[in-house]
């Protein structure tokens, strides 16, 4: 059996090595390190893949979120509603911009932001909702867009974990997540579903005026060389990362299928055990691209299982062990712990298993057998 890893980027690289090596050599030979033709090519391919008018590449996913919020003109004092159960980057940028983060609970079955909790949190100061398509599963965008329309709010999708997933509306239309709200942000961190070999990110929008604003912000607020119209940042995707992304983008759907296949094998194996709650999903559908395979251990043995798996050489992780509303940086007297029952429960029960595009049957069998023997 091949060595188990949370993410096996080396085996994935072996399949695309020639293309990547040749592309990187070309960048070295042409010295087009930044904003070269490779970056432009990637931008165009991603626009086409997502069916979105504008992709603005940038340096990482955290920047993408920050620049999206800057582009929308959010101001200190504006309230931004986001999920309590997510990676800290989502709330970090809200706080950095002097906006007021409003954390809300999530839904138990999808682990995504709770629509009822959003409704309760909306005030006269609310300006935006930031749904996170957590672990690769599309959030309930129909309900979120309806609420946004009703209350005149912006929707900024944190799509760092779900690039390639489709959201199916009640009317049957499929739309790539990240392109449904006013603006979407993603990350190309190596372990993400579309990962480069360093840092990278992008912002998406169908709004021409917003796209123009964003293109200036990523480049020091310049719309004309050395004319700085707004305060911007320096956030660029480099050409070597674009080479990697150009090689991987055409494979993203195949990668998604490989992830769903592994998730189904896990789900099938664990269906016999009543102490495990697996992520329900439609294998034929594509609203979940399994950035992470996160299941729940409901008999109180989660931490013991974690230690046991580590002993057996099976990598696993807890995403996320501590709710954001109790983190030192984000705790606030406004938050009442009793308002976050689901996040609190999930933090105590979740465990993430190895999930990547190269998982083999004998690896999954070993992982599932070891877990079933223990739980």
Ligand X SMILES: *Cc1c(COP(=O)(O)O)cnc(C)c1O
138 vs 135: CA distance, rounded Å: 9
* Nearest CB to ligand X, comparing residues 89 and 203: 89
For residue 238, give both structure tokens.
């480099």
Considering the complex, state which of residue 170 and residue 329 has its C-beta at the smaller distance from ligand X: 329
Give bridge partners of residue 156 from the DSSP assignment.
183
Nearest to 238 by CA among 21, 59, 34, 46: 34
Is residue 132 involved in binding ligand X (CB under 6 A)? yes
Q: Quick one: which of 12, 82, 90, 114 contacts ligand X (CB under 6 A)?
A: 90
Enter the tokens of residue 9.
């980027």
Query: Is residue 189 a contact residue for ligand X (CB under 6 A)?
Result: yes
Residue of 152, 181, 216 lying closest to 52 (CA atoms): 181
Q: Of the listed 127, 176, 192, 248, which one is catalytic? A: 192
Q: Confirm or reject binding of residue 89 to ligand X (CB under 6 A).
A: yes
Packing angle between helix 37-50 and helix 9-30, nearest 10 degrees? 130
| Of 160 and 247, CB closest to ligand X | 160
Question: By C-beta, is 199 or 349 nearer to ligand X?
Answer: 199
Options 43, 62, 179, 235; binder of ligand X; rule CB under 6 A: 62
Contact between 35 and 59 under an 8 Å Cβ cutoff? The reply is no
The nearer residue to ligand X, 36 or 61, going by C-beta atoms, is 61
104 near ligand X (CB under 6 A): no
d(CA 18, CA 369): 37
Chain-centroid distance, C-alpha 249: 16
Instruction: Give the tokens for residue 45.
Output: 């391919």
Q: Has 176 been annotated as catalytic?
A: no
By the rule CB under 6 A, 61 interacts with ligand X = yes
Contacts with ligand X in 194-253 (CB under 6 A)?
199, 201
Any contact of residue 343 with ligand X (CB under 6 A)? no
CA distance 68 to 82: 15
Instruction: Provide the minimum distance between the beta carbon of 66 and ligand X in the complex, in angstroms, as a whole number.
Output: 9
Shortest separation between residue 60's beta carbon and ligand X, angstroms: 4
By CB under 6 A, residue 161 contacts ligand X: yes
Residues 6+ apart with CB under 8 A from 62: 89, 92, 93, 187, 201
Asked if 86 is part of the footprint of ligand X (rule: CB under 6 A), the reply reads yes
Q: Which residues bind ligand X (CB under 6 A)?
A: 60-62, 86-87, 89-90, 132, 158, 160-161, 187, 189, 199, 201
**Catalytic residue list:** 192
């Amino acid at each position: 059996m091949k060595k188990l890893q949370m993410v096996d980027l080396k085996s994935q690289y072996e399949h695309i090595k020639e293309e990547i090596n040749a592309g990187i050599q070309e960048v070295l030979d042409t010295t087009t390190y930044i904003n070269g033709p490779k970056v432009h090519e990637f931008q165009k391919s991603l626009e086409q893949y997502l069916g979105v008018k504008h992709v603005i590449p940038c340096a990482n996913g955290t920047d993408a979120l920050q620049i999206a919020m800057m582009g929308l003109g959010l101001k200190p004092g504006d309230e931004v509603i986001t999920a309590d159960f997510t990676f800290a980057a989502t709330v970090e940028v809200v706080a950095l911009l002097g906006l007021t983060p409003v954390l809300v609970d999530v839904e138990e079955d999808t682990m995504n932001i709770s629509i009822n909790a959003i409704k309760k949190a909306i005030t006269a100061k609310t300006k935006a909702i930031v749904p996170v398509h957590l672990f690769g599963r599309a959030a309930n965008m129909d309900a979120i867009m309806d609420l946004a329309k009703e209350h005149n709010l912006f929707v900024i999708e944190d799509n760092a974990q779900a690039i390639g997933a489709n959201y199916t509306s009640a009317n049957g239309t499929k739309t790539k997540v990240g392109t449904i709200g006013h603006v979407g942000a993603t990350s190309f961190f190596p372990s993400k579903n579309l990962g480069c070999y360093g840092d990278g990110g992008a912002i998406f929008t169908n709004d021409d005026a917003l796209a123009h604003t964003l293109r200036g912000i990523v480049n020091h607020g310049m719309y004309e060389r050395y004319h700085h119209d707004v305060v911007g940042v320096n956030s660029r995707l480099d050409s070597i990362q674009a080479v990697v992304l150009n090689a991987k983008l055409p494979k993203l759907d195949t990668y998604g299928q490989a992830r769903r296949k592994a998730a189904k094998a896990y789900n099938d194996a664990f269906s016999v055990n009543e102490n495990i709650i697996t992520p329900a999903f439609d294998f034929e559908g594509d609203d979940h691209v399994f950035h992470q395979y996160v299941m729940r251990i409901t008999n109180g043995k989660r931490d013991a299982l974690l230690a046991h798996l580590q002993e057996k050489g099976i990598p696993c992780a807890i995403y996320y062990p501590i709710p954001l509303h109790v983190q030192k940086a984000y705790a606030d007297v406004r938050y009442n712990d009793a308002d976050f029952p689901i996040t609190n429960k999930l933090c105590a029960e979740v465990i993430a298993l190895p999930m990547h595009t190269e998982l083999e049957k004998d690896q999954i069998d070993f992982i599932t057998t070891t877990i079933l023997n223990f739980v």
